[in-house]
């Protein structure tokens, strides 16, 4: 994690060894990967760093655009690259990437978040072929809504007055109590991650959470065009 010295819970478990890692720092990624491998090898690399960014495109600064691409997409790619030689040499290992239901469907005013998550899904699928030839697994876990502080600590936003009324409509739907009641706890998603790491399957995609499963199934059944039209009605009437 970026600041292991601030952690209080994980440091109490003797089976957990914390190290510093900022996934936007290429040198630190490579240094940490080498240090971990030198400690005795790795079986699973879980790329979980990421955050949300919402708002109209016209409202974002270039810094916001670059930051989310660096964190949500390039961080996973660079971390995977740092461990690939180790996995290829022993012809085993699993990479698990946290994507999102937002990597399989889209909603309004989350374009840059979706850009990173759709890219991560596509990259992971291509890497499934590439790494599979060496006995290496590539998997994605795609959660839906989370009962965490994602909309606080793990969230950024932008505004533009031309879109304020439309954004308000969308947020009313997203923050509806009935909608949020279907969100998953971290423990529920952790169970899916553990399943992906231990089930021995070559399965690529693990959609996690009841809301995510229902949303993705609706898109598959309706087809992309009809699903998008239905979403537009849902958000804008």
What is the set of active-site residues? Answer: 113
Residue with tokens 């969230």: 155
Strands 137-143 and 44-47: unpaired
* Secondary structure of the chain in HEC code, one letter for each residue: CCCHHHCCCHHHCCCCCCCCCCCCCHHHHHHHHHHHHHCCCCCEEEECCCCEEECCHHHCCHHHHHHHHHHHHHHHHHHHHHHHHHHHHHCCCEEEEECCHHHCCCCCCCHHHHHHHHHHHHHHHHHHHHHHCCCCEEEEEEECCECCCCCCCCEEECCCHHHHHHHHHHHHHHCCHHHHCCCECHHHHHHHHHHHHHCCCCCCEEEECHHHHHHHHHHHHHCHHHHHHHHHHHHHC
Query: How many angstroms separate the CA atoms of 43 and 24, rounded?
Result: 23
Strands 137-143 and 94-98: parallel
């Amino acid at each position: 994690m970026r600041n292991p010295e601030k952690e209080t819970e994980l440091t109490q478990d003797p089976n957990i060894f914390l190290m510093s890692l900022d996934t936007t720092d290429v040198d630190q990624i490579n240094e940490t990967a080498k240090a971990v491998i030198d400690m005795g090898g790795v079986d699973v690399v879980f790329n979980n760093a990421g955050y949300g960014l919402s708002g109209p495109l016209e409202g974002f600064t270039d810094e916001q655009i670059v930051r989310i691409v660096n964190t949500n997409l390039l961080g996973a790619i660079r971390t995977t690259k740092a461990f690939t030689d180790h996995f290829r040499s022993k012809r085993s290992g699993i990479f698990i990437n946290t994507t999102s239901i937002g990597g399989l469907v889209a909603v309004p005013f989350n374009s840059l978040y979706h850009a990173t998550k759709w890219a991560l899904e596509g990259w992971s699928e291509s890497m499934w072929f590439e790494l599979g030839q060496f006995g290496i697994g590539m998997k994605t876990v795609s959660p839906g809504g989370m009962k965490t502080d994602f909309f606080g600590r793990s969230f950024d936003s932008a505004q533009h007055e031309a879109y304020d009324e439309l954004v308000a409509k969308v947020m009313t739907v997203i923050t509806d109590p009935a909608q949020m009641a279907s969100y998953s706890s971290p423990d529920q998603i952790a169970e899916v991650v553990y399943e992906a790491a231990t089930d021995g399957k070559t399965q690529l995609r693990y959609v996690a959470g009841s809301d995510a499963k229902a949303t993705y199934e609706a898109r598959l059944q309706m087809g992309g065009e009809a699903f998008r039209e239905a979403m537009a009605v849902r958000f804008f009437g």
